[in-house]
Amino acid sequence: MSTPVSLDTIPLAPKVLLHDHLDGGLRPQTVIDLARAAGYDQLPSERADELGEWFIASADSGSLERYLETFSHTVAVMQTHEALVRVAAECVEDLAADGVVYAEVRYAPELFQERGLTLDEIVCAVQDGFREGERRAAEVGKSIRIGTLLCAMRQNARSAEIAELAVRYRDVEVVGFDIAGPEAGFPPTRNLDAFEYLRQQNAHFTVHAGEAFGLPSIWEALQHCGTERLGHGVRIVDDIKVDDNGGVQLGRLASYVRDRRIPLEMCPSSNLQTGAAPSIAEHPVGLLADLRFRVTVNTDNRLMSHCSLSSEFAVLHETFGYGWTDLQWFTVNAMKSSFLGFDERLEIINNLIKPGYASLIG
């Protein structure tokens, strides 16, 4: 007998997450504890429930200033080795509790140097935390593996240095590189050296593109930078025409993205908060999934969006009527699109994902 799909049962399904920011997923109580330890007195509240509400309300406010302020607090409390280990370990525990079996978690090392940590010390601390989190998850019977993506911030012009850092740690679960930060005024082509270097090194990378900014950003990320995946990529919908009779016409860029199976790291709740989509029902994820683009579903910032991968799946189930087969399709898409080796991807698909959904479908 099939298990009904609901917010209570979706955590039982094995899930794969490709787009999750470490500094966007802290527990409110951890923010408070770390702020106390660091002598940081700028938090808007010292109570975990109130602080959690404040993060969501600020991210929801429609003001970019307030949205960015949320990260000023999380980043401020992540400036020591101990803080980074704790945040990374708890991130893995939270994802494992949600039924995530493989995740690529990203962060920008250059943001955590305010108290003198070197880039290498930062990477080592986070890797230690991820391994600790995997151990704690295993102790409670959860299987999870974390790959790390190192981000460079578009506006800071340190992308070549961060790309080298990612390659230096590629053998210890740093699986790729990303470029994040404001799209407008900072086209990905400003960082061509980094992308050129990564390609020479046969390294993997994704690019935040087509979130707020339109098709040119997606085109540059693909055709100038050579990205393997698109972080968000929602605006690809601007290159798709749907007529009144439901006829669909893809432009050349949209066709390229679909034909080449370019993975879209879609983050529905986050897109609502930043105004990249007006509602879940109107979010391009529905159309793009219908058209069989390589759609993956992601959380982006679990603290600010008050979401988990299960809650994102639940919202899509409620809005578009997706069942276990669809949720499995998103999950297999994500695993196929991960930066792990091909044999490792297949192993997770065959040994964890397929049997997991089969038991729910019944």
Between residue 60 and residue 79, which ones bind Zn ion under the rule CB under 5 A?
none
Beta-strand pair 205-209/229-232: parallel
The verdict on whether residue 41 carries a ligand-binding annotation is: no
Both tokens assigned to 56 = 């969501």
Nearer to Zn ion, 5 or 149 (CB): 149
Report the nearest approach of Zn ion to the CB of residue 300 (Å): 5
Q: How many CB atoms lie within 10 A of CB 205?
A: 24
Nearest alpha-carbon partner for 148 in 120, 107, 89, 180: 107
On whether the CB atoms of residues 128 and 43 are closer than 8 A, the answer is no
Residues touching Zn ion: how many (CB under 5 A)? 1
The verdict on whether residue 19 carries a ligand-binding annotation is: yes
Both tokens assigned to 34 = 């770390």
Nearer to Zn ion, 137 or 180 (CB): 180
Cα–Cα–Cα angle for 36, 39, 45, nearest 5°? 55
Rounded Cα–Cα distance for residues 107 and 179 (Å): 10
Which is the catalytic residue, given 93, 134, 183, 211? 211
Between residue 294 and residue 313, which ones bind Zn ion under the rule CB under 5 A?
300
Residue 211 annotated to the active site: yes
The verdict on whether residue 193 carries a ligand-binding annotation is: no
Report the nearest approach of Zn ion to the CB of residue 265 (Å): 8
Nearer to Zn ion, 44 or 214 (CB): 214
Report the nearest approach of Zn ion to the CB of residue 106 (Å): 7
Report the nearest approach of Zn ion to the CB of residue 107 (Å): 11
Between residue 11 and residue 30, which ones bind Zn ion under the rule CB under 5 A?
none
Report the nearest approach of Zn ion to the CB of residue 169 (Å): 21
Cα–Cα–Cα angle for 36, 114, 94, nearest 5°? 55
The verdict on whether residue 129 carries a ligand-binding annotation is: no
Kindly report the backbone phi and psi dihedral angles of residue 211, in degrees, each rounded to the nearest multiple of 5, phi listed first: -90, -75
* Residue 349, CA distances (Å) to 222, 263, 355, 356 in order: 27, 17, 9, 10
Nearer to Zn ion, 183 or 300 (CB): 300
Beta strands in the chain (DSSP E): 15-21, 100-107, 145-153, 174-180, 205-209, 229-232, 240-242, 248-250, 264-266, 295-297
The verdict on whether residue 98 carries a ligand-binding annotation is: no
Nearer to Zn ion, 23 or 300 (CB): 300
Between residue 240 and residue 279, which ones bind Zn ion under the rule CB under 5 A?
none
The verdict on whether residue 300 carries a ligand-binding annotation is: yes
Handedness of CA 292, 259, 14, 304 (dihedral sign): negative
Rounded Cα–Cα distance for residues 252 and 105 (Å): 32
Nearest alpha-carbon partner for 146 in 82, 84, 191, 102: 102
Nearer to Zn ion, 324 or 330 (CB): 330
* Residue 18, CA distances (Å) to 49, 63, 76, 307, 318 in order: 28, 26, 25, 15, 22
Report the nearest approach of Zn ion to the CB of residue 199 (Å): 22
Q: Which stretch binds Zn ion (CB under 5 A): 7-15, 124-132, 293-301, 304-312?
A: 293-301
Residues placed in the known binding site for substrate: 21, 23, 181
Report, as residue numbers or ranges, the catalytic residues.
Answer: 211
Which residue positions form the known binding site for Zn(2+)? 19, 21, 208, 300
Residues of this chain that interact with Zn ion (CB under 5 A) are: 300
